[in-house]
Amino acid sequence: MKIFHTIKELRETLQPLRTQTIALVPTMGNLHNGHLDLVKKARANADIVVVSIFINPTQFGVGEDFDTYPRTLDADVEKLTSVNADYVFAPSVEEMYPILPTNVQVLSGDISKILCAKTRPTHFDGVGLVVSKLFNIVQPNIAIFGKKDYQQLAIIRQLVAELNFPIEIIGAEIVRADDGLALSSRNQYLTETERKHAPLLQKTLQNLANELKTANFADFDNIIAKTIDNLNSTNIDNVRFKVDYLEVFNQNLQPPKADDKGLVILTACYLGDKTRLLDNLEFTRN
């Protein structure tokens, strides 16, 4: 497996290989089994697998963890070798952004202003920009994104459609620990006690989905509000949850209507002082 740090070198290597199917797996590194599952899916769908490792400054807001975000390139490369990735693209910030702040933005429409964007208003502008750059640099045939970042996946699908990128976007299912917690690089911020109780978030989504499957649509708001109150009032071993958001949409991230069958619950929830857990659950109404 070869590692590239410059756009020029990567492009020169990929240019004669474009008769084959190229897959891109964008990551910010600090890889876990969830990322490796994305690479395995890419390997099953393409001849060549490129994994980008780039901690993107434009998607971090003021006071967020850009400076402290784990940088583990050597360990990441070792893991990627084990799942047969072909190339790693690990550019510097200066390589990706010769000018900062940038003069160009890639706006993502109404779905970039809901959910996570309410408390992270510039986040998806940064995601849209870096993904567009990676698409232009790698020019893949397919790209793999995880469903844990459900809103991000929906925005990227919209971006690809509206900017006419000739790229198939494949969404990979959430990879979870044995106790149900969605795998995330930020889980390492949890204390031992917080980690013990973190699966309560997924259990709460499962209980909410079961209730909404048979509930009258007119009762949705009250049921959701009660679920939020219950989470916010949870205090186990001095571990507290604080809901950032917990909302229900249809699977196109539009407000649900009474006749919608396929729905998704999406949440971001703080556990303890600093860890923000992201999760979602798709379900079908009866």
CA-to-CA distance for 181 and 68, rounded, in angstroms? 23
Predicted pLDDT of residue 65: 83
Q: What is the mean pLDDT of residues 18-32?
A: 97
Which of the following is catalytic: 5, 32, 35, 123? 35
Radius of gyration of the chain (CA): 19
Confidence tier at 59 by pLDDT (50, 70, 90): very high
Which of the two residues, 166 and 108, has the higher pLDDT score? 166
Per-residue confidence (pLDDT) for residue 61, from 0 to 100: 87
DSSP assignment of 87-135, as one string? EEE---HHHH-SSSS-S------GGGSSGGGGT-TTHHHHHHHHHHHHH
**Lowest-pLDDT range, 107-111, 167-171, 227-231, 236-240?**
107-111
Please say if 32 is a catalytic residue. Answer: no
Q: Over the stretch 68-93, which tens digit does the pLDDT of each residue have?
A: 888 999 999 999 999 999 999 999 99
d(CA 165, CA 171): 16
Q: Tokens 């009762």 sit at which residue?
A: 219
- Is 273's pLDDT higher than 90? no
pLDDT at 274: 81
pLDDT for res 278: 96
What domains lie within the chain, and their CATH numbers?
Answer: 2-172 (3.40.50.620), 185-281 (3.30.1300.10)
Provide mean pLDDT across the span 210-220: 96
- With a pLDDT cut of 90, the percent of the chain lying above it is 89
- Tell me the C-alpha distance between 38 and 119, whole Å: 28
**Is pLDDT above 90 for 63?**
no
Residue 94 pLDDT: 97
Percent of the chain clearing pLDDT 70 (strictly above)? 100
- With cut-offs at 50, 70 and 90, classify the pLDDT of residue 62: confident
Distance, in Å, from the CA atom of 52 to the CA atom of 50, rounded to the nearest integer, reads 7
